[in-house]
Amino acid sequence: MTLLDVCTTEQARELGEEAFYASLTQRNKGLVSAALQRKIRDARLLIAGCGSIGGATVQPLGRMGYRQFVLADVGMYELNNLNRQNATVDDLGQNKASVGARNLRAINPHIKAEVVPEGITAANVAALVAQADVIVDGVDVTTASGLAAKVHLHREACRQRKPLVTAWDMAGMLAAQCFDYRVVRSIFDGQLMPGDEDRLGTWEVIFRIAPRGYIPGEMYRELRRGLSAPDYSVPQLVEAATQFGALVAHMANVLVDGRTLPRTVAVDIHHVTMTRGRRVVDHLARQWERARFLRYLPPAQAWNGFAPGPAYRAGRRFSLRTS
């Protein structure tokens, strides 16, 4: 039996770990060098947040040949998650990290996948980051606790100088970002001042750290209509969230290979599938909807969320000196 002849569950499970891995990654050859495949095999990944964008990365990374995972998520699957997340009705009520680990082992039974059901916390973040060669940040920011966990994760990754990839799914847009803290020395490119996560409102922090230049017009329009509702839940679509899996499968490879990535890689499925004329209208509409959204916000919130980094930092330093 050759590696390409393995076609039954029984045959696959009879293989030793190395033979299984060789067969699993056989079709990578020619596009993934043998040296890079060895780095992939030995790399340690921390996936923090296994829901929408984080969960989209779990299976692609396992299929690429990564074998050592730590999956951290405090959340349980709910029915409203199934419009975009890699789960089924049978997974409802189960921890997202646990389901992700189970799916990894279903692809490669030799994968080592540690589950951290308490998610990222101030108490465990240093130890979790220390285990990782590359960090995938899929932490949900729509709650105060999730936002705090995200800030803890980036601060620790920066302190330990670990590369981190994250993403924002907004309507049809997936904006993947690489903060290579091996060389970058301020979290979120300095968009947050110390203590901002406690001083600012949740949405003000989100707008400070999100890639504001990539927010689609339809997302601005939706937020303007929805943010005033006390129980507002941001809509998310499968075509945006699942893109992160494909992007990370390559971005992680670049990082473990010691190479660099651009800060932001953005793909808007809705925009690129429009006709040329409609794309021009959509681009203009984005500027219009952004202006309408900024006028809708109270001036202090608009400044705290959208002021350019240098101006915001100068204003904060001035207010601290005069307070």
Give the pLDDT confidence of 30-63 residue by residue, as tens digits: 999 999 999 999 999 999 999 999 999 999 999 9
Note whether residue 1 is domain-resident.
no
Confidence at 207, pLDDT banded by 50, 70, 90: very high
Percent of the chain with pLDDT over 70: 99
Per-residue confidence (pLDDT) for residue 1, from 0 to 100 = 47
Note whether residue 73 is domain-resident.
yes
- Tens digits of per-residue pLDDT, 258-316? 999 999 999 999 999 999 999 999 999 999 999 999 999 999 999 999 999 999 999 98
- Whether residue 241 contacts residue 85, with contact meaning beta carbons closer than 8 Å, is answered with yes
318 or 20, higher pLDDT = 20
The residue written with tokens 């569950």 in the block is 9
137 or 233, higher pLDDT = 137
Instruction: Provide the whole-model pTM.
Output: 0.95
Q: Above 70 in pLDDT, residue 6?
A: yes
Note whether residue 267 is domain-resident.
yes
Per-residue confidence (pLDDT) for residue 171, from 0 to 100 = 97
Instruction: Supply the range of the domain harboring residue 168.
Output: 32-322
Confidence at 4, pLDDT banded by 50, 70, 90: low
What's the number of domains the chain is made of? 1
Note whether residue 7 is domain-resident.
no
- 270: helix, coil or strand? helix
Q: Say how far apart CA 255 and CA 135 lie, in whole Å.
A: 10
CATH code: domain of residue 269: 3.40.50.720
Residue 51: CB partners within 8 Å, gap ≥ 6?
73, 75, 81, 85, 96, 138, 140
Per-residue confidence (pLDDT) for residue 319, from 0 to 100 = 84
Q: How many residues does the chain have?
A: 323
Note whether residue 13 is domain-resident.
no
Per-residue confidence (pLDDT) for residue 57, from 0 to 100 = 98
Q: Taking the alpha carbons of 175, 239, 227, 154 in that order, is the dihedral positive or negative?
A: negative
Note whether residue 187 is domain-resident.
yes
Note whether residue 174 is domain-resident.
yes
Task: Report the pLDDT averaged over residues 139-153.
Answer: 92
Note whether residue 231 is domain-resident.
yes
